[in-house]
Amino acid sequence: MSQALDRINALRAQLHQHNHNYYVLDAPSIPDAEYDRLFRELQQLELEHPDAVTNDSPTQRVGGAALKTFSQVQHEVPMLSLGNAFAEQDLHDFVRRVREGLGDLLPAGDLFGGGAEVAFTCEPKLDGLAVSLLYEEGVLTRGATRGDGSTGEDITINVRTIRNVPLKLQGSDWPPVLEVRGEVYISHAGFAALNQRALAEGSKVFANPRNAAAGSLRQLDSKITASRPLEFCAYGFGRVEGGELADSQYHILQQFKRWGIPISPELRQVSGAEALLAYYQDIGARRAALSYDIDGVVFKVDDLAWQAQLGFRAREPRWAIAHKFPAQEEITTLLDVEFQVGRTGAVTPVARLAPVQVAGVTVSNATLHNMDEVARLGLMIGDTVVIRRAGDVIPQVVSVVLERRPDDAQAVTIACQCPVCGSAVERTQLIKRGKGKDSVSEGAVYRCVGRLACQAQLIQAIIHFVSRRAMDIDGLGDKIVEQLVNEGLLRSPADLYALQYERIVGLEGFADLSTRNLLAAIAQSRQVSLARFIYALGIPDVGEETAKLLARALGSLARISQALPEVLTYLPDVGLEVAHEIHSFFADSHNQHVISALLEQGVVLEESSELHAEFSACATLASVLEKLNINHIASTGAQRLAQRFGSLSALLAADWLDLRSIERFTEKAAQSLREFLANPANVARAQAIEAQLLEFGMHWQSPKQALTGLPLAGQTWVLTGTLEIMSREQAKAKLEDLGAKVAGSVSAKTHCVVAGPGAGSKLTKAQQLGVAVLDEAAFMQRLQALTG
């Protein structure tokens, strides 16, 4: 037991240190896999020795049993709020009041009669929620919300899940009782990832990071909180017993930092009103580029003795003030809801607003995403609405001011006909295809069925088709595409290749030379790589990367267009949903018609026609069985079936007795397999998949081709921060030589991020998404290993 305890303690110490390096210092010290291994070892030991589980163990971050309610917490030192300054004059008044309040305490000025300047700390005002963290003997024992300032709620189990909140303080010179106060918030990247996940899962999206943080912190089920990207930043303290903190705000925060408590990297110590204004302006100018929302900056008299002298007025300290930025939320009237038709026919509502100034910009439109969002907001035309602009994000409607709803407010309805072409608008339920049965999620999209007969879809489709990363036709801007469509010269992308000089010259903006240039650019685009062509087709959910992957893996348009969804899912990163989109796009007769017209007009595809070696013989019988999605047969069941029968034909011909004789195969699974085999359509589908795998050379019996691929082929890497050993260009070139693609931003598809000193939001995003991160030394090692 004592040996196990020693190991438990050693593991905890190591994991605490790694957590700190990762979440507070932004400098991961071991690979994720190694961290996971240590974590699992600790989990296992704690499982074997439940008595040894302590509240400060890193395993306690994953959340625990759900609560029924939160209990109340009395704040012995009340959690107060701050007075606000909006104009410059408010700030000068604040500094004057501080000077007057300090009176004799303020040292005499210099010989020229100016008074000595008061030192202040400057901090950003994070837009999240105030929380109190109680540390006893250096261990986090309680977390609480602010509540009304005197009574809050006990949210200990939730704050424990916040990754950058230390469960145990570092060092040993902290006071035995220390209450740390600060803000819990969600960064922009965390918010985007959270909403992306919500969309993918068909659950509700959050209106803004603050709401998401508030909702996450007040979850009774801490496992949900654990899955949310909450972060903490300390700005003050409450109870301190048995020891003392430093004597100034600035130095106390520096102590916090040493003890592993995250503080703002924007913390400054300055003197005099002018310096405060300069800080306000500097942060204001960088506000949009910060990776989290702030609504102003906070100035505090730095000296704690001076703070005590100044004291409080009502519930606000006289020694601090929040200098707010102009509001990012405003109210205005919803004049109308119009509907826009996108490239894939999706009909989306757009709010037309009475123009209003929000943080210096006139806003008259806001996106409403979809009809679910309209319903969620309970929006009616004529309503007074709260709108919000955050950074460079498109303005959003946040909520309706119900008290101001006029009597003649009108419901928002989506027309049954497309506002552009008059075709029917169909409501399609979003289908979530997962393991087992398809499930219908809550969301619904409305689509105009007009396809290219719908002017809006046609224009968008052609704009996409000619764009730089697609067919790359120079000189065909959005306006010209619109003009050519309106003139009736383009009814499909294929018509581009049939355009004639006589029909264009003389159109507005087209003289002899410009007409010839345009036709030359179109002609030049005829020869195109398969990847660009696939991307240009604008298949829903198929971006540039997926298009490249399809082209590289399958090698020919013929294969891509015939591939069954189950076969497409053998490609990395192609899920069943995308596979279905691709398959139904090519199965559609209208799309087939456009593609043949393009080829008839002389578009020539550069195709390798070869199946990529990586995919020759990549399928196994077990994996095919798994992809058939038979109830109660997942991967182990599929493996047992594959072992028992050896071939698909043997399995399809299996009789009742054969099925009973499979070792460790449940009666339920056997029954479900029998039902599956009794349906001829299922048998035909299984046979079609096998036939296609054989035809493509992906079948387990197909001859394996030698792998000639580059070691990093198919991977996407991101470089961020400063690299010291080699330049970024060199690193990029090296990676590309090894077959990797180097991208500018981090997404869930990124394989690895190389982060040098000074790495910021990209590193944070990688961590939030769980993408592997290497420092430059580890990167050099990896390169060495790959190049030998």
Q: Which residues 321-350 are close enough to bind ligand IVH by CB under 6 A?
A: 322
Q: CB–CB of 309/378 below 8 Å?
A: no
SS3 39: helix
Q: Which of 599, 612, 617 is nearest to 559 (CA)?
A: 612
Q: How far is the CB of 80 from ligand IVH (least distance, A)?
A: 4
Q: Which of 276, 275, 319 is nearest to 296 (CA)?
A: 276
Which residue's CB is nearer to ligand IVH, number 77 or number 356? Answer: 77
Which residue's CB is nearer to ligand IVH, number 183 or number 577? Answer: 183
Q: CB–CB of 715/739 below 8 Å?
A: yes
What x-and-dash track marks residues 169-198 binding ligand IVH by CB under 6 A? Answer: --------------x---------------
Q: How far is the CB of 173 from ligand IVH (least distance, A)?
A: 24
Q: How far is the CB of 311 from ligand IVH (least distance, A)?
A: 11
Catalytic residue selected from 68, 125, 435, 437: 125
What x-and-dash track marks residues 86-125 binding ligand IVH by CB under 6 A? Answer: -------------------------------------x-x
Q: Which residues 663-722 are close enough to bind ligand IVH by CB under 6 A?
A: none
Phi first, then psi: give them for residue 263, nearest 5 degrees: -125, 170
Q: Rule CB under 6 A: is residue 421 a binding residue for ligand IVH?
A: no
Q: Rule CB under 6 A: is residue 495 a binding residue for ligand IVH?
A: no
Q: What is the H or E stretch that residue 332 is in? A: strand 329-341
SS3 459: helix
Would the CA dihedral through 685, 687, 692, 698 be positive or negative?
Answer: positive
Interface with ligand IVH (CB under 6 A), residue total 15
Q: Is 125 a catalytic residue?
A: yes
* Spatial distance between the Cα atoms of 691 and 310, rounded to a whole number of angstroms: 83
Q: Whole-angstrom distance between the N-terminal and C-terminal Cα of the chain? A: 46
Which residue's CB is nearer to ligand IVH, number 22 or number 299? Answer: 299
Q: Which of 526, 716, 715, 692 is nearest to 611 (CA)?
A: 692
Which residue's CB is nearer to ligand IVH, number 128 or number 714? Answer: 128
What x-and-dash track marks residues 220-259 binding ligand IVH by CB under 6 A? Answer: ---------------xx-----------------------
Q: How far is the CB of 297 from ligand IVH (least distance, A)?
A: 8
SS3 716: strand
* Spatial distance between the Cα atoms of 786 and 736, rounded to a whole number of angstroms: 13
Of the candidate spans 74-82, 335-343, 393-401, 721-729, the one that interacts with ligand IVH by CB under 6 A turns out to be 74-82
Which residue's CB is nearer to ligand IVH, number 130 or number 230? Answer: 130
For ligand IVH, which residue of 43, 55, 81, 170 counts as binding (CB under 6 A)?
A: 81
Phi first, then psi: give them for residue 533, nearest 5 degrees: -60, -45
Distances (CA, A) of 66 to 30, 70, 165, 356: 32, 10, 21, 44
For ligand IVH, which residue of 42, 102, 130, 689 counts as binding (CB under 6 A)?
A: 130
Q: How far is the CB of 151 from ligand IVH (least distance, A)?
A: 15
Helices (H), 287-399: 304-310, 371-377
Distances (CA, A) of 173 to 176, 177, 260: 9, 11, 12
Side-chain-side CA neighbours of residue 401 (13 Å): 14
Q: How far is the CB of 240 from ligand IVH (least distance, A)?
A: 15
Which residue's CB is nearer to ligand IVH, number 299 or number 665? Answer: 299
* Spatial distance between the Cα atoms of 55 and 136, rounded to a whole number of angstroms: 12
Phi first, then psi: give them for residue 698, nearest 5 degrees: -105, 0
Count of other CB atoms within 10 angstroms of residue 707? 11
Q: How far is the CB of 160 from ligand IVH (least distance, A)?
A: 20
Q: Which residues 291-320 are close enough to bind ligand IVH by CB under 6 A?
A: 298, 317, 320
Which residue's CB is nearer to ligand IVH, number 75 or number 699? Answer: 75
Which residue's CB is nearer to ligand IVH, number 16 or number 300? Answer: 300
Residue 49 in tokens:
């020795």
Q: How far is the CB of 126 from ligand IVH (least distance, A)?
A: 5
Q: DSSP letter at 24?
A: I
Q: How far is the CB of 206 from ligand IVH (least distance, A)?
A: 19
* Spatial distance between the Cα atoms of 579 and 564, rounded to a whole number of angstroms: 8
Which residue's CB is nearer to ligand IVH, number 257 or number 685? Answer: 257
* Spatial distance between the Cα atoms of 191 and 221, rounded to a whole number of angstroms: 20
Q: DSSP letter at 165?
A: S
* Spatial distance between the Cα atoms of 702 and 568, rounded to a whole number of angstroms: 17
For ligand IVH, which residue of 38, 67, 77, 80 counts as binding (CB under 6 A)?
A: 80
Beta pairing partners, 303 = 248
Q: Which residue number places its CB atom closest to ligand IVH? A: 130
Q: Rule CB under 6 A: is residue 496 a binding residue for ligand IVH?
A: no
Q: Rule CB under 6 A: is residue 82 a binding residue for ligand IVH?
A: yes
Which residue's CB is nearer to ligand IVH, number 234 or number 421? Answer: 234
**What is the identity of the amino acid at 547?**
A
Q: Which of 532, 462, 467, 470 is nearest to 499 (CA)?
A: 462
The number of residues making up the chain comes to 788
Which residue's CB is nearer to ligand IVH, number 123 or number 231? Answer: 123
User: What angle is formed at CA 550 by the lines to CA 546 and CA 551, rounded to 5 degrees?
Assistant: 120
Q: Buried b / exposed e across 135-150, counting CB within 10 Å, b at 16+?
A: beebebebbbbbbeee
Q: How far is the CB of 268 from ligand IVH (least distance, A)?
A: 12
What is the β-pairing status of strands 741-743 and 716-720? parallel
Would the CA dihedral through 423, 424, 430, 433 be positive or negative?
Answer: negative
Which residue's CB is nearer to ligand IVH, number 81 or number 483? Answer: 81
Residue 171 in tokens:
């060092």
Q: Rule CB under 6 A: is residue 126 a binding residue for ligand IVH?
A: yes
Which residue's CB is nearer to ligand IVH, number 125 or number 699? Answer: 125
| Residue 49, Ramachandran bin (φ over 0: left; ψ between -120 and 50: alpha; else beta) | beta
Distances (CA, A) of 208 to 205, 359, 371, 391: 9, 17, 19, 12
> Which residues are the active-site residues?
125
Judged by the rule CB under 6 A, the positions of this chain that interact with ligand IVH are: 80-82, 123, 125-126, 130, 146, 183, 235-236, 298, 317, 320, 322
